[in-house]
Structure 1
Amino acid sequence: MRFSPSIVALAILVTSAVASPISRSDFVIHEKRHSVPRLWTRGEKLDSSVVIPVRIALTQSNLESGYQFLEDVSHPSSKNYGKHWTPKEVIDKFKPSRETVTAVRTWLEEEGISRSRIRLSPGRNWLEFNATVGEAERLLRAEYHVYEHDQSGQPHVACTEYSVPAHVRRHIDFVTPTLHFDAKIKPRDANRLPRRGVVPAVKPGTGHDIGLTDGWKPKLGQDVNVQSLKPNLTACATATTLDCLRALYKFKGFRDGHKLAKGNSYGIVEYTPQAYVPSDLDEFMTKFRPGAVGVRPILDSIDGGVVQQESKSFGLNGESDLDLEYAIGLVYPQPVTLYQVGDLVEGASFNNFLDGIDGTYCGGDDPTQDGVYPDPYNVTGAYEGPEDCGTFAPTKVISTSYGYNEADLTPAYEMRQCNEYMKLGMMGVTVLYSSGDYGVAGNSGQCIDPTTGAYNNGTSGLFNPGFPATCPYVTAVGATQTKANANLAHLPAGTQPETACETVIYSGGGFSNVFPLPAYQAPAVTSWFKNNNVPYGADRFNNSGTTRGFPDVAANGANYVIAIDGKFSLVFGTSASSPTFGSIITLINDKLLSAGKPTVGFINPALYAHPDVLNDVVEGGNRGCGTPGFTAVKGWDPVTGLGTPDYGKMLKMFEGLAHGGYGGGYGN
Structure 2
Amino acid sequence: MLARFLLLAAPLAALALPSRPATLKRTHERRSVLPHQWEEHADAHPDMRVPLRIALAQSNLDTAYDELMRVSDPESPDFASHWTAKQVAEFFAPSKNTLDTVVNWLAEEGIDRSRVKQTQSLGWIEVSNLTVTEAEALLDTKYKVYKHASGKPTLGCGSYSVPEHISKHIDFITPTVHFDTRVNSPRQEQRRKRDVEPGVAKNIGQPWSGSTPKQGASLSAASIITELEQCGSQITPICLQALYKLPIDYIQFATSKNSYGIVEYTPQSYLPTDLDMFFEQFLPQATGKRPTMDSIDGGNIQTEYEGFDYNGESDLDLQYSMALVYPLNPVLYQAGDMVEGASFNNFLDAIDGAYCTYDGGDDPTQDGVYPDYATGGYQGPETCGGYAATNVISTSYAYNEADLTPFYETRQCNEYLKLGLQGVTVLYSSGDYGVAGNDGQCLNADGTYSANGIRFNPSFPGTCPYITSVGATQIIPNGTIFDAEEASQSVIYSGGGFSNVFATPSYQTSAIKSYYANYPPPYTAAQYNNSEAVRGLPDISANGAFYVVAVDGEFELVFGTSCSSPTFGSVITLVNDARLALGKKPVGFLNPTLYANPWMMNDITTGGNQGCGTPGFESVPGWDPVTGLGTPNYELLVAKYLTLP
TM-score of the superposition, structure 1-length normalised? 0.86
Sequence identity (%): 54
Question: Which AA in structure 1 matches 2:472?
Answer: A
1:201 aligns with 2:197: yes
Matching residue of 2:444: 449
Residue pair 2:225, 2:234 contacting (<8 A) in 1 also: no
How many angstroms apart in 2 are the aligned matches of 1:288 and 1:121?
51
Q: Report the alpha carbon displacement of residue 45 of structure 1 after superposing the two structures with TM.
A: 4.4
1:420 aligns with 2:418: no
1:647 aligns with 2:630: no
Of 274-283 and 628-637, deviating more is 274-283
How many angstroms apart in 1 are the aligned matches of 2:407 and 2:204?
29
Matching residue of 1:187: none
Residue pair 1:427, 1:601 contacting (<8 A) in 2 also: yes
Residue pair 1:177, 1:366 contacting (<8 A) in 2 also: no
How many angstroms apart in 2 are the aligned matches of 1:229 and 1:535?
42
SS of corresponding position for 2:500: strand
Matching residue of 1:591: 578
Residue pair 1:239, 1:559 contacting (<8 A) in 2 also: yes
Which residue of 597, 601, 607 maps to 2:594? Answer: 607
Q: Report the alpha carbon displacement of residue 41 of structure 1 after superposing the two structures with TM.
A: 3.5
SS of corresponding position for 1:57: strand
Matching residue of 1:337: 331
Cα distance change on mapping 1:197 and 1:92 into 2, 3 Å: closer
Matching residue of 1:484: 477
Question: Which AA in structure 2 matches 1:433?
Answer: Y
Please give the per-residue CA displacement for 1:333-392, whole angstroms capped at 9, x wherever unaligned. 1121111122233322111111111122221112111122334xx334333333222211
Residue pair 2:205, 2:264 contacting (<8 A) in 1 also: no
Residue pair 1:61, 1:96 contacting (<8 A) in 2 also: yes
Of 343-352 and 207-216, deviating more is 207-216
Q: Report the alpha carbon displacement of residue 397 of structure 1 after superposing the two structures with TM.
A: 0.3
Please give the per-residue CA displacement for 1:376-417, whole angstroms capped at 9, x wherever unaligned. xx3343333332222111100011122221122222221221
Matching residue of 1:291: 285
Matching residue of 2:350: 356
Which residue of 453, 466, 470 maps to 2:463? Answer: 470
Of 608-617 and 50-59, deviating more is 50-59
Matching residue of 1:499: 486
SS of corresponding position for 2:439: helix
How many angstroms apart in 2 are the aligned matches of 1:172 and 1:462?
32
Cα distance change on mapping 1:49 and 1:349 into 2, 3 Å: farther
Residue pair 1:356, 1:391 contacting (<8 A) in 2 also: yes
Please give the per-residue CA displacement for 1:68-106, whole angstroms capped at 9, x wherever unaligned. 101111111111111111212211111111121222334
How many angstroms apart in 2 are the aligned matches of 1:200 and 1:567?
39
Residue pair 1:251, 1:647 contacting (<8 A) in 2 also: yes
Matching residue of 1:65: 63
Q: Which runs of 5+ in 1 are unaligned?
A: 1-23, 183-191, 659-668
Matching residue of 2:31: 33
SS of corresponding position for 2:27: strand
Residue pair 1:193, 1:199 contacting (<8 A) in 2 also: no
Residue pair 1:499, 1:618 contacting (<8 A) in 2 also: yes
Please give the per-residue CA displacement for 1:296-319, whole angstroms capped at 9, x wherever unaligned. 111111222222222223222222
How many angstroms apart in 1 are the aligned matches of 2:440 and 2:486?
21
Question: Which AA in structure 2 matches 1:72?
Answer: R
Cα distance change on mapping 1:231 and 1:91 into 2, 3 Å: same
Residue pair 2:244, 2:634 contacting (<8 A) in 1 also: yes
Of 288-297 and 160-169, deviating more is 160-169
Cα distance change on mapping 1:656 and 1:209 into 2, 3 Å: closer
1:121 aligns with 2:115: no
TM-score of the superposition, structure 2-length normalised? 0.89
SS of corresponding position for 1:592: helix
Q: Report the alpha carbon displacement of residue 505 of structure 1 after superposing the two structures with TM.
A: 1.1
Q: Report the alpha carbon displacement of residue 427 of structure 1 after superposing the two structures with TM.
A: 0.8
Q: Map residues 259-270 of structure 1 onto 2, 5 A cutoff.
A: 259-270=253-264
Count residues with an aligned counterpart: 610
Question: Which AA in structure 2 matches 1:324?
Answer: L
Matching residue of 1:559: 546
Q: Map residues 191-590 of structure 1 onto 2, 5 A cutoff.
A: 196=192, 200-202=196-198, 211=206, 214-254=209-249, 258-363=252-357, 364-375=361-372, 378-450=373-445, 452-457=446-451, 459-488=452-481, 491=482, 495-496=483-484, 498-590=485-577
How many angstroms apart in 1 are the aligned matches of 2:561 and 2:51?
36
How many angstroms apart in 2 are the aligned matches of 1:215 and 1:181?
23
Of 126-135 and 281-290, deviating more is 126-135
SS of corresponding position for 1:269: strand
Please give the per-residue CA displacement for 1:125-164, whole angstroms capped at 9, x wherever unaligned. 1224565672554544242322323xx6676554322233
Question: Which AA in structure 2 matches 1:57?
Answer: A
1:104 aligns with 2:102: yes
How many angstroms apart in 1 are the aligned matches of 2:461 and 2:438?
13
Residue pair 1:354, 1:361 contacting (<8 A) in 2 also: yes
**Aligned-residue RMSD, C-alpha:** 2.6
Residue pair 2:487, 2:619 contacting (<8 A) in 1 also: yes
How many angstroms apart in 1 are the aligned matches of 2:546 and 2:129?
51
SS of corresponding position for 1:326: helix
Of 388-397 and 25-34, deviating more is 25-34
Residue pair 2:38, 2:146 contacting (<8 A) in 1 also: no
1:90 aligns with 2:88: yes
How many angstroms apart in 2 are the aligned matches of 1:413 and 1:340?
22
SS of corresponding position for 2:222: helix
